[in-house]
Structure 1
Amino acid sequence: MALAKITLHDFRNHAASELRETAQFNLLVGENGAGKTNVLEALSLLAPGRGLRRASAETLARNNAGEDEPRGFAVGASLVEQGQVSARLGTYTLPDRPTRRLVRINGADASASALSEWLALAWLTPAMDGLFTDSAGARRRFVDRMALAIEPGHARAVARLETALRERNRLLEERGDARWLDAIEMQAAQHGSDVARVRGQLIARLVDELSALPSEPFARPLLTYRPGGPGDEDGLRAELARSRGRDRAAGRALTGPHRDELEVHMAHADGSRGQPAAASSTGEQKAMLIAITLAHTAIAAAGRPSVLLLDEVAAHLDPVRREALFARLRAGRAQVWLTGTEMAPFAAIADEAAVWRVSGGTLERV
């Protein structure tokens, strides 16, 4: 078990919701718009970043009609390991600072990046179904989110790389002092090499994990990491220095980890590369995305408490794939949270799951 005694205060449409006596499988059942995904989003904020909807902090607090005063929100949970509470995690905003999300761990102020040192979080939502046809940037964000499972400091390295590249772009545009450019490119190369290393390690581990899985009933994807430039610090620093004129004309850096790409292909029965995921059917893309998520969850659960959030996944699978999904999740170490509009798709796990009926932002234990 990973999370227990979860509380939501003034979050989305939840005024005051609490979930106790959680299990490995946790089901949130209710009509569309009842607030099921809001619970998953709240849990996703117990990790660095902007959560599964990538929403800005000021949009998360509950807003009552007719209220002019700003309102903050709070999400908290106990982290349980081997039956004992090992940590208390929380995140919140204040009414007078609604745009700044704050974090507390064991009652003390902490950085958002520190959350990943305690808990590995992953999710799969309907909005992610278009990942393979989306931009390379969307796939980089997907990789970076997964990378936190093997390197909690990865989010910090990504943020520092982006900051260094923005400063370099500014200096190039203003034709700043070459010594300042040398210094900022040194920072970009240092953080960039860290980012590239962790991404490469993650993809390699996913490839190994996926190769051990049967190709049925889920499609087995083949993953390839395509670096956007030299992966070592010295090579990246030298390339940035060589490309200043080109980058000044382009208005951006054309070399570096910010140009990385994750290529995904279907695997044939013999393991050879098939068609690109972007050209596959919607069902095949969904199956590959589930396979990647399961492989990542297995990696994440090997390091620290792991939580997997699955929004409206079971209803879109046929009975064979649904049973296979539950079997894999049951055999894993992650705590799983699932949403659905009815109980029927969850019949195979209903007896072992903690179930809540969700309606209008309220929760009722079934």
Structure 2
Amino acid sequence: MPNSGFSLAENGERGGGRVSISRLTLTDFRNYAGLRLDLDPRPVVLTGANGAGKTNLLEAVSYLTPGRGLRAAQLDSVIRLGAGAFAVAAGVDRRAGGPDVGAIDIGTGFRRGDSGRVVRVNHEPAPSVSVLGEIVRALWLTPAMDGLFTGPASDRRRFLDRLVLTLDPGHASRVADFEKAMRQRNRLLEDFRGNDRWLGSVEHAMAELGVAVSTARAGAVRRLTEALRQRAGGVFPDPEIAIEGAFETGAGDQRPSLEVEEAYREELGLGRARDAAAGRTLSGPHRSDLSVIHRGRGVPAALASTGEQKGLLIALILAHARLVADASGGVAPLLLLDEIAAHLDDMRRSALFAEILALGAQAWMTGTDRALFTDIAADAQCLEVADGRLSPV
């Protein structure tokens, strides 16, 4: 039994739809030996000193979705020191602009030595972690993402793929399968021990998966672009986004998928010697990049100020959250916003909170200064975190 449970649930309901956590239970997760937290659908504000465990709670919630969580940590490192496994469980309520459309119990965990996470849905084993994507859709921003626009392209691809995943729960599996096939090809090319038929089979799978990944990304970017245009002109800078890369340029917008797959298979076949010499596959959607431009100034996001970059990220997340809600019958995704208010001025902080409340999302927000959340405190569940223990404010 978790050892520090209490309830803030008030059975209050706001308008609009959402997915929300009604109960969160942690066992041997980071600095939490045991915790049970009962909540209502309102936003959650977590305040406390650095190192108290605020981000750990957001990370735990992020494990209720497919993937490696908001820190992308190795599963072994998430287990509390001295323990052999961790578990995260939750009661998830889904509401679509009216009565509740379902309450679901989900849980996930990992034991040292296992190959991956296990998942249970309504106390029954689930076939894969990807099942979680059909139940909980979540978006997050962390301080580590402040360098997204100036960092490597791989960081922006992962950011884009997280956005795609909230619209298309199968996307994570396709990306993982493509990367697995690509690693197989790289191993075969390493010493040319694979025959042409074997390589051809792997390249056939890469082509199918690569085009599917690229198509999903392109579709999400088109829809997000429209969502950004609809919300343009607010207090946050307006981003303009696009996918860049030789693969996208070669694929084009009008060519049939089968034609693009065949062209990529041919490219992979002709590039075997080149890729063997390089020790890696040099063409494909794994080398694409997400381009973000500050529309108002007409400059790449990488050249914008630190504050403008933060504003561009927030604008992207808010627009995408609205898009996800519209695409899923009015069910707003969870928002996990770590240290979100620290570097915003009063106007932008108030605008962020107003957007969250208008969306109806259960946003989990952290900060060291409780005063930064004054504008949303009356509409939120406020908790003080200290040494892995929570108390209501």
Q: So what's the TM-score if we normalise by structure 1?
A: 0.93
Matched, 1:277 2:301: yes
Q: Aligned partner of 1:7: which letter?
A: T
Aligned with residue 165 of structure 2, among 148, 152, 155 = 148
Name the counterpart of 1:345: 372
Match of 1:87, SS? strand
Aligned counterparts of 2:101 and 2:324: Cα–Cα separation in 1: 20
Aligned-partner Cα distance in 2 for 1:263–1:173: 33
CA distance in 2, matches of 1:335, 1:159: 29
Mapping for residues 32-111 of structure 1, pairs under 5 Å: 32-63=50-81, 67=82, 70-82=83-95, 83=100, 85-94=102-111, 97=113, 100-110=116-126, 111=128
- Render the CA deviation track for 1:283-327: whole Å, top value 9, x for unaligned: 111110111111111122231551010000112100000111111
Matched, 1:365 2:392: yes
Q: Which amino acid aligns with 1:119?
A: V
With 10-19 and 99-108 compared, the bigger mean Cα shift is at 99-108
For 1:287, the equivalent position in structure 2 comes to 311
SS in 2 for 1:287: helix
Contact 2:21–2:39 under 8 Å retained in 1: no
- Structure 2 residue corresponding to 1:118, chosen from 115, 123, 135: 135
Q: Is residue 158–residue 195 contact of structure 1 (8 Å, CA) maintained in 2?
A: yes
8 A contact 1:13–1:62 mirrored in 2 = yes
The one-letter code of the counterpart of 2:177 is R
Q: Which residue of 2 aligns with 1:131?
A: 148
> Which of 340, 354, 358 pairs up with 1:313?
340
Residue in 1 aligned with 2:262?
234
Q: Please point out which of 342, 349, 353 is paired with 1:326.
A: 353
C-alpha displacement of 1:99: 6.1
Given that 2:43 and 2:361 are in contact with CA atoms closer than 8 Å, whether structure 1 keeps it comes out as: no
In structure 2, give the amino acid aligned to 1:87: I
CA distance in 1, matches of 2:218, 2:101: 35
Match of 1:159 among 172, 176, 197: 176
Distance 2:180 2:324 in 1: 28
**Larger CA deviation: 247-256 vs 29-38:** 247-256
How many angstroms apart in 2 are the aligned matches of 1:365 and 1:74?
A: 24
Q: Structure 1: how far apart are the matches of 2:374 and 2:273?
A: 62
What is the CA RMSD across the aligned residues, in angstroms?
A: 1.6
1:214 aligns with 2:232: yes
List alignment gaps of at least 5 residues for structure 2.
1-17, 252-259
1:24 CA drift (Å): 2.5
Indicate which of 179, 193, 197 corresponds to 2:215: 197
For 2:118 and 2:46, locate their aligned partners in 1 and report how far apart those are by CA, in whole Å: 27
**Is the Cα contact below 8 Å between 1:28 and 1:340 reproduced in 2?**
yes
Show CA shifts across 1:221-260 (max 9, x none): 1101114414432222122122222222222111110111
Using the alignment, how far apart are the partners of 1:55 and 1:143 within structure 2? Answer: 19
Moved over 4 A (4+): none
Change over 3 Å in CA distance of 1:99–1:62 after alignment to 2: farther
Question: How far apart, in 2, do the equivalents of 1:352 and 1:23 lie?
Answer: 10
- Matching of residue 17 in structure 1 with residue 35 in structure 2: yes
Equivalent residues, number: 356
Distance 2:360 2:379 in 1: 15
Provide the C-alpha distance between the structure 1 equivalents of 2:85 and 2:121, rounded to a whole number of angstroms.
Answer: 18
Letter in 2 for 1:101: R
Could you tell me which amino acid in structure 1 is paired with residue 300 of structure 2? Answer: P
CA contact (8 A) 2:332 2:359 kept: no
Contact 1:222/1:265, CA 8 A, preserved across alignment: yes
- The answer on whether the counterparts of 1:72 and 1:98 sit within 8 Å (CA) in structure 2 is no
Structure 1 residue runs of 5 or longer lacking an equivalent are none
Could you tell me which of 288, 293, 317 is aligned with 1:265? Answer: 293
| Aligned with residue 48 of structure 2, among 30, 33, 45 | 30
Q: Distance in 1 between matches of 2:107 and 2:276?
A: 43
Q: Distance in 1 between matches of 2:314 and 2:274?
A: 40
Q: Deviations over 1:59-98 (max 9, x none)?
A: 11111xxx5xx4211111111123465211111123x536
